[in-house]
Amino acid sequence: MSVTEICENALAASAVVGQLTTAKKDQVLSDMAAAVERHRQPITEANQRDVAAARESGVAPTLVDRLTLNDRRMDGLVKAIRTVMAQPDPVGQVVKGWTRPNGLLVEQVREPLGVVAVIYEARPNVTAEVAALCLKSGNCAVLRGSSMAVETNAAIMTALSEAIALHDDVPAAAVQLIGDPSREAAVELMRAKGYVDLLVPRGGPALIDSVEQNATVPTVIDGAGNCHTYVDASADRTMATEVSVNAKTSRPSVCNAMETLLVHRDLATDWLPGVLDTFAGLGVEIRGCEAVRRVWPKAMEATEEDWGTEYLGPVLAVRVVADAEEAIAHIRRWGTFNAEGIVTSDLAVARRFAQSVNAGSVFINASTRYSDGGEFGYGVEIGVSTQKLHVRGPMGVEALTTVKNVVWGTGQTRVL
Amino acid sequence: MSVTEICENALAASAVVGQLTTAKKDQVLSDMAAAVERHRQPITEANQRDVAAARESGVAPTLVDRLTLNDRRMDGLVKAIRTVMAQPDPVGQVVKGWTRPNGLLVEQVREPLGVVAVIYEARPNVTAEVAALCLKSGNCAVLRGSSMAVETNAAIMTALSEAIALHDDVPAAAVQLIGDPSREAAVELMRAKGYVDLLVPRGGPALIDSVEQNATVPTVIDGAGNCHTYVDASADRTMATEVSVNAKTSRPSVCNAMETLLVHRDLATDWLPGVLDTFAGLGVEIRGCEAVRRVWPKAMEATEEDWGTEYLGPVLAVRVVADAEEAIAHIRRWGTFNAEGIVTSDLAVARRFAQSVNAGSVFINASTRYSDGGEFGYGVEIGVSTQKLHVRGPMGVEALTTVKNVVWGTGQTRVL
């Protein structure tokens, strides 16, 4: 099927999928989890073929690892579907409402977006997670995975389709996978205006660039994460060490990992050298401003470029600042609207930081690594928004809905 | 000042404007209303020069009328600022919040978008209204009016700036007007990525097309209004006549005017001919489907093109449908996510229509003409969204905010 045909089918199906009851959607999700469980062997075998092909063509080991569905990950995949099932249904939620002087009752009600498309890389779990999130929120899903995972995705899709087929009143086009792994197919999806209500690209800068160049459909960008942690003079020092070390080293390759540590000057001599020793002991290379290099001479010199770099690896930029205001200004200048953190025991400083830092998520006395749909309680996430419109930070089912106005009258007509 | 300089100043000022208290913003708005009142004469004189120039260059009378600031409109302009002042401040509103099992408290808090730009046509009231809406919501405004209104807008801007200058702690760049009326300046604004957080184009199809072609900044589109009213078999007939006539004829040139009337077949012989006589008497040309022409032969034949046309004038397409389902399907096929209405006394039909019609606003037993910021209680509007992401329907101050996550911890660190 062509991308256009897939999109047409999704649009037609969306009128039905958007009206399914919560009970029906949960039953399909339960059947999906069972079907994936039942198809464990064919999915695993398909995955082994994808992994073998990737190894043969010399794909980097980290990518091969992401592609691999071991037993634990297969369990996670089934569990993800059940976790989404357990989420509250956002559709039909009345967000607010009021009555006008003329008697008109305005209700603002959540409804599904319609057709949600996701372009993603070689993580097969995304196929099941996005399908589950879309169905729970009453949307039709159009999935476009990586060519590297083509057999795995097809095998997962077979299981999902089998579950959908158990229900006469649920259209097969509720979840569709684009078989064509070409770049042209991806661009066709980006340009399916009038069919796709939301496209979420989950991938590296090349994919984001391509979407920004080509997309005519509405998008939510899951972009860069140049995340900061500011350690205030008032911080509990043990907490400051634990939170910064966790933010940088628990998983340096992900978008919510810390890239720059900002330190109040009062901590430059007594706390900073110790924590930098800890980072160095964990294999993290330090690039510091002049004040950092004075107290910890092993640091390389940080340039402007460092403030703007998302290392996604064992490198940390460190800057000494005069106060919270300077830290806030640094973050407003260099941040990417993703996750930003502070460690402080000063209430006024905490409130000021929370109010002034215009990131998708601001963490007070907690690691930026918590910027995650699962950690927010959304079960799984469809991505992490780094834009300001529509939704910010981790996106769960609610991010896949829109709020319309329903106005109840008794025959009101408007005088000019 | 170049567009780029204006945008840079707005970005810098947004850090301050976003933190102003409600009391301070309301004081500035009050001073703005007083300043416009005080500058009534220079504003009126500037407007007379614009109007004279427009007449000389042969601008259409309807456009000259829109441009003209008579006494009543000057009153309205001052009143609009005071109405926005009286709105609740959306900034700092906690939309929701919850505590995670690990003790993290997630709060979702409204904050200003930052810099809001509006490109609009020759209605000088927009200058004051958008400035007020942006300030109330803590945003910096970048205004780009029509070349036709260049003197009027400059005179209004002088008054607004005078009010801002009374406050040492409010940056002059809180509200800025782009003086350059060229198309290049507009395109530069559309491409000011990283500076403009939201661009709302208020204008005809040519402007919308240009924005869709050129914009790299986030936009909310105030687009077409191909609005329908469906009259169900269960409708109160007097109400059905009043609501449809109001929807079509109270102001046919605006986006919330009805363009197609859908009528249940049970009403085709007894109610429809009478209402079509009424429309004809009001000078409305009728284009009908076959079933309409059988009962009212004066109707011209409606083609597929009619179902897709926003006439914005005294023409009405009319179609007889089998039931509410067929009406819903017609609207889902031809609607533009703007305003859609139904007249019915059947509860089940009303609920089904409200749920299935995926427009920005759905009106049950009320005229679609109520799709308007003032009528919704927003004071004035910055536009009417016809997209699904971020905000739908009439946009007031809340539409100019974004909801960020503020997460309060006690030193939590994440285990992989």
Name which of B331, B389, B401, B415 to mutate to probe chain A: the one with the most chain A Cβ atoms within 10 A of its Cβ: B389
A416 pLDDT higher than 80? no
pLDDT-derived band at A62, boundaries 50, 70, 90: confident
B407 pLDDT higher than 80? yes
- Report the half-sphere exposure of A283 (CA within 13 A, side-chain side): 5
Q: What pLDDT does B62 receive?
A: 87
- Report the half-sphere exposure of A327 (CA within 13 A, side-chain side): 31
- Mean per-residue pLDDT, A62-85: 95
Inter-residue contact B200 to B383 (CB < 8 Å): yes
Under an 8 A CB cutoff, do A358 and B18 touch? Answer: yes
A181 pLDDT higher than 90? no
Q: What pLDDT does A301 receive?
A: 98
DSSP letters, B18-58, are TT--HHHHHHHHHHHHHHHHHTHHHHHHHHHHHHHHHHHTT
Say yes or no: do domains B3-221+391-407 and B227-375 share a fold.
no
B410 contacts on A by Cβ (under 8 Å): 365-366
Residue A340 phi/psi, 5-degree rounding, is -135, 145
- Portion of chain A with pLDDT greater than 70, in percent: 100
H or E segment at B295?
helix B290-295
pLDDT-derived band at A388, boundaries 50, 70, 90: very high
Q: What pLDDT does A186 receive?
A: 96
Name which of B388, B408, B410 to mutate to probe chain A: the one with the most chain A Cβ atoms within 10 A of its Cβ: B388
B92 contacts on A by Cβ (under 8 Å): 355
Q: What topology is assigned to B3-221+391-407 in CATH?
A: Aldehyde Dehydrogenase; Chain A, domain 1 (3.40.605)
Closest B-chain CA to A395: B405
- Mean per-residue pLDDT, A140-162: 97
B392 contacts on A by Cβ (under 8 Å): 402-405
Under an 8 A CB cutoff, do B404 and A359 touch? Answer: yes
pLDDT, chain B, mean: 97
pLDDT-derived band at A241, boundaries 50, 70, 90: very high
Closest A-chain CA to B108: A361
DSSP label of B102: T
Closest A-chain CA to B343: A411
Q: What pLDDT does A322 receive?
A: 98
Under an 8 A CB cutoff, do A243 and B411 touch? Answer: yes
At a CB cut-off of 8 Å and minimum separation 6, what does A207 contact?
A119, A121, A201
Region of poorest pLDDT, from A103-112, B205-214, B353-362: B205-214
Q: What pLDDT does A71 receive?
A: 95
Superfamily of domain A227-375: Aldehyde Dehydrogenase; Chain A, domain 2 (3.40.309.10)
A19 contacts on B by Cβ (under 8 Å): 355-356
**CA–CA distances in Å: residue A187 to residues A215, A413, B415:** 7, 46, 38
**Both tokens assigned to A47:** 């995955």
- Mean per-residue pLDDT, A338-350: 98
Domain ranges of chain B: 3-221+391-407, 227-375
Identify which of A362, A408, A410 has the shortest CB distance to residue B407: A362
Under an 8 A CB cutoff, do A236 and B18 touch? Answer: no
B226 contacts on A by Cβ (under 8 Å): none
Q: What pLDDT does B229 receive?
A: 98
Under an 8 A CB cutoff, do A377 and B416 touch? Answer: no
Instruction: Give pLDDT tens digits for B159-174.
Output: 999 999 999 999 999 9
Q: Is B330 helix (H, G, I), strand (E, B) or coil?
A: helix
A402 contacts on B by Cβ (under 8 Å): 388-389, 392
Identify which of B361, B389, B416 has the shortest CB distance to residue A402: B389
- Portion of chain A with pLDDT greater than 90, in percent: 97
Burial class for B411, CB neighbours closer than 10 Å (0-12, 13-18, 19+): middle
Under an 8 A CB cutoff, do A377 and B243 touch? Answer: no
pLDDT, chain A, mean: 97
Identify which of B361, B410, B414 has the shortest CB distance to residue A365: B410
pLDDT-derived band at B181, boundaries 50, 70, 90: confident
**CA–CA distances in Å: residue B175 to residues A268, B153, B178, B216:** 41, 12, 10, 22
B416 pLDDT higher than 90? no
pLDDT-derived band at B312, boundaries 50, 70, 90: very high
Instruction: Give pLDDT tens digits for B268-283.
Output: 999 999 999 999 999 9
Interface A–B counts its CB contacts (< 8 A) at 206
Q: What pLDDT does B226 receive?
A: 97
Closest B-chain CA to A332: B15
Report the predicted TM-score, pTM, of the whole model to 2 decimal places: 0.96
Q: What topology is assigned to A3-220+395-407 in CATH?
A: Aldehyde Dehydrogenase; Chain A, domain 1 (3.40.605)
B381 contacts on A by Cβ (under 8 Å): none
